Amino acid sequence: MPAAARAAVEDIDTRAPLLGLGSGDVLTVTSAARALHMREADARAWLRDEDLIRTVAGRERVLWGDVLAAIRRGDTPKCQQTGDKRRGGSLPRARL
């Protein structure tokens, strides 16, 4: 298979919606991080910290069942809060 075609096949799961993942699915690290629905940097760090990233034929992959097992054990990812930090707080009042 030509390199361009192989690259296109490998990247299919990063563009497709992540619905119906099974415990036997093998994902790229990017796809696994996206499926966790959190900041990608936090998700990648958690996947590495939990040793959930495997090397398959020289490429990094994640077995989704391992991710589910880690979450079931209570090893949930710690993530930084994102968004507008001002939301929910009041603005300082000026003396007029």
What pLDDT is attached to residue 74? 85
Q: Is 0.75 surpassed by the pTM of this model?
A: no
Which is more confidently placed, 74 or 17?
74
Amino acid letter, 69: A
Q: Chain centroid to CA 60: how far?
A: 13
CB 51 within 8 Å of CB 93: no
CB 77 within 8 Å of CB 38: yes
> Could you state, in order of their start, the residue ranges of all structural domains in the chain?
25-78
pLDDT classification of 21: cutoffs 50, 70, 90 = confident
Start-to-end CA distance of the chain, whole Å, equals 73
Question: How far apart, in whole angstroms, are the C-alpha atoms of residue 16 and residue 66?
Answer: 21
CB 61 within 8 Å of CB 54: yes
pLDDT digits (tens, 9 = 90+) for 65-79: 999 999 998 867 665
Share of the chain above pLDDT 90, in %: 49
